[in-house]
Structure 1
């Protein structure tokens, strides 16, 4: 592999980063170093690993201002919002460090007869390849990197070509903390080289976050090997506003859930179903709030909606909107209301569509942009049917005053996470997982350690 990685900023089309792709000899050396370092690291007590990784989090957070600005330059999130990713990284990392001792402890087994000792031990896998996306490059990567290291593994990170500096900042933090050399490494790779690393026998697990097509490519590459693959893929996450919902509260939460990060979130809200009795008021309030966004240069503190990551992504959303309108939908926001929104650029106005149905791409296929379709429903049953009418199942949110109803409806939804009166949030204490084309496997929570370890059973006869 040869050539250069070039990161183009969506802000102004300037080149932000240039780095050479890793050569095969470099990759071989990295994987050999990882294997050697992991053999020693796995013998260290969990408490010692926790001490090192805690220092790494401290070092990372100390660079929050630099890290936040780099996020904005690389992928366009408003500079006032980018520091939240540093805070989220810290929250998840510290939580997974804090629970590691219990999550990795031996599983006790009753010993009904004297003279026997039986237990199950969780052992590290070896080297974990983490393939990270650009939209939340730290928040997604930390879900696997920190628990993988805490479990005694080595990590090789392949960052997105849109956000390569994230790998360098994490490497800086681990080096400052004194993490042994070889345990955390990163490589700039193209698709072909990534495929080759997945097939390499020195890689023992792959944690991938990205598109459905990317997930399929990862599975194909790993198909002839008996290794685990964790896939966090797409979403078309729905929300249901019941008749008893606090409308202002629901509007504030859902508008943010749709437009934060320009809608470029796997668990962002992309379709909303509202009980008919609240529908008109909800739509009116939603459009009013959407018009309050300020689209522009994300380095300007006044900006609340930045550009999408690239023009091609914005063009996809524009096409979804145009196709929906041609099929009978109504767009409630004129793009001209946002002067910065221009065809041929990644700057795209927020959009609200009504008179939509599930024959339209905008209600069925992932948009990953600042657009939402809103439909009226007549009952809980109709809402559940429509929410489940999707190949995806990452999160779903129900807005209601009735906790029992939310729990009952959640039990009928094909989704990895069910929210009540909130959305677009990851709680590190809860398992992060998906259904259908949203992927397979699990990160975060004590359950997240399971895919990064293998069980070994001990059956010891102590008296002969």
Structure 2
């Protein structure tokens, strides 16, 4: 079995010690490929190559228009290769074909086009100062070398939405994908080189957590952009404090869904189910805690459970699949452990709660699991599960619902279900969440910022906000006397 290689500068290489890791199909548990396991020496070489790429005349002096054309070409290539990339993403991560081909790939291409347009619009300003005979102006300048560490749940999409603004602003990058799902990122980097990204401007390191740790510690890295677990993000912040490198963290979530008495219950059931089970619940913005007015809670719970039980479970490659596998045995065990804690702490299990067996037992499948009578102190109400587990909670008045929705450490996303226009506008500011959705799924668009409060992270991705994340403000004073 051939292994994918590292990209360091202009060369595709094996790891310096020849080590390899293995990646698996979560639908079958079977090995599907090997990848180079980078070493600390490989990290040193990749960072040095990125520094050379960043400072090279080919990149530093490239016009904004030329840089934008390259990013636009990446988007074109992603669209041209969508069928193959969707199969690769589905096989390596477990995404259904509907998500891989219908969401992941279109979003990745859209992000590259969006930031291709930004290359010619990164403006500064002239400041009036009180020093006589001075012309003073500000420019947005690139940070330098950016280390990008991506998670296993949406490997291609998240890599795209970090790399595109980093390159649009003139940085060079070293990207390290999750060891569980490296294959689509390797292919993305190949397409970026084909599109004309100069040598050294994009570098690829595959491997386990030690590779990411070495990248974070490296003094030659000016910034880290990380998406993943809150515990790892906290450790990155601690290590990055040693040299005060810029850190952007998009971490966990525990999104509340508030269903008001006037909501269309059938629409709320379907919307919440889709929002909860998107990518089998392996999404930081997934809806997980359902606060339903007591007058409607039993109706909502029964309809939610019945709809959940009707969803086809299977491999992402099957066209009819709605609920695919979890990413690994380790993650399945974690999800099941949290489900067991819900039962032990007194929540009422309505449906689900045990690993799928039969024809699918070789894969990492877990059915949609609905709990009722959940209280705020239970682990399933407080901890990020990152799986298809839905907790229904009754409330009596809106102030109570808001207080309970905010009573977690996370603040990434929230959703409201109401037919009242006033409530749709006045309730979102009361929720401690970076993004509030009203009567819809947790959607992401390149034009709108994405990020959270509290333990959901630091900073914002997407939109103009990402330009700020990947640049510094530099002032110039010119003596006109």
Q: TM-score range by the shorter chain?
A: over 0.9
Q: Which sections of structure 1, spanning at least 5 residues, go unmatched?
A: none
Q: Tell me the alpha carbon deviations over residues 390-425 of structure 1, each in whole angstroms, 9 at most, x when there is no partner.
A: 010101111112233233222121111111112321
Q: 1:95 aligns with which of 114, 136, 146?
A: 114
Contact 1:123/1:456 (8 A) holds in 2: yes
> After superposition, what is the alpha-carbon deviation per residue over 1:285-304, rounded to whole angstroms, capped at 9, x for unaligned?
21221122111222222221
Moved more, 262-271 or 292-301: 292-301
Kindly report which structure 2 residues correspond to 1:307-456, keeping only aligned pairs within 5 A, or say none. Answer: 307-334=325-352, 340=358, 346-456=364-474
Distance 1:328 1:26, change over 3 A: closer
TM-score, normalising length: structure 2: 0.91
Partner of 2:141: 123
Contact persistence 2:21–2:36 (CA under 8 A) = yes
Aligned length in residues: 462
Q: Is 1:134 aligned to 2:165, yes or no?
A: no
After TM superposition, the structure 1 = structure 2 runs for residues 142-153 of structure 1, keeping only pairs within 5 Å, are 142-153=160-171
- Normalised TM-score (structure 1): 0.94
Specify the SS of the correspondent of 1:193: helix
Match of 1:20 among 6, 30, 36: 36
**Per-residue displacement from partner, 1:50-93 (whole Å, max 9, x unpaired)?**
01111111112211111111111112122233112001111222
Partner SS, residue 343 of structure 2: helix
Aligned equivalents of 1:322, 1:341: Cα separation in 2: 24
Q: Are 1:42 and 1:124, in contact at CA under 8 Å, matched by a contact in 2?
A: no
Which residue matches 1:216?
234
Q: Please state whether the residue corresponding to 1:274 is helix, strand or coil.
A: strand
Shift in CA distance, 278/12, structure 1 to aligned 2, threshold 3 Å: same
The question of whether the paired residues in 1 share the 8 Å contact of 2:28 and 2:362 is answered with no
Paired residue secondary structure (1:149): helix
**1:109/1:248 Cα in 2 relative to 1: closer, same or farther (>3 Å)?**
farther
**1:302-349 Cα distance to aligned partner (Å, 9 max, x none):** 221111111222222222222222222111115689655978852111
1:77 counterpart = 2:95? yes
3-state SS of paired residue (2:120): helix
| Residue pairs, 1:243-258, within 5 angstroms | 243-258=261-276
Q: Equivalent residue of 2:296, what SS?
A: helix
Q: SS state of the match for residue 432, structure 1?
A: coil
Separation of aligned partners in 1, 2:221 and 2:75: 25
Q: How far 1:217 sits from its partner (Å)? A: 2.3
Residue 97 of structure 2 aligns to a residue in which SS?
A: coil
Distance 1:112 1:340, change over 3 A: farther
The match for 2:23 is 7
Q: Name the CA distance, whole Å, in 2 between partners of 1:14 and 1:344.
A: 9
Cα offsets for 1:16-66 (capped at 9, x unmatched): 121221244433332222112211323322221101111111112211111
Deviation at 1:186, TM superposition (A): 0.3
Equivalents in 2 of 1:345, 1:65: separation in Å? 23
Deviating more after overlay: 147-156 vs 313-322: 313-322
Unaligned segments of structure 2, at least 5 residues: 1-15
Superposed counterparts of 1:143-292, under 5 Å? 143-292=161-310
Is contact 2:336–2:354 with CA below 8 Å preserved after alignment?
A: no
C-alpha displacement of 1:94: 1.6
Q: CA deviation at 1:257?
A: 0.6
Mapped to 1, the partners of 2:328 and 2:354 lie a distance apart of: 20
Compute the RMSD of aligned alpha carbons.
2.1
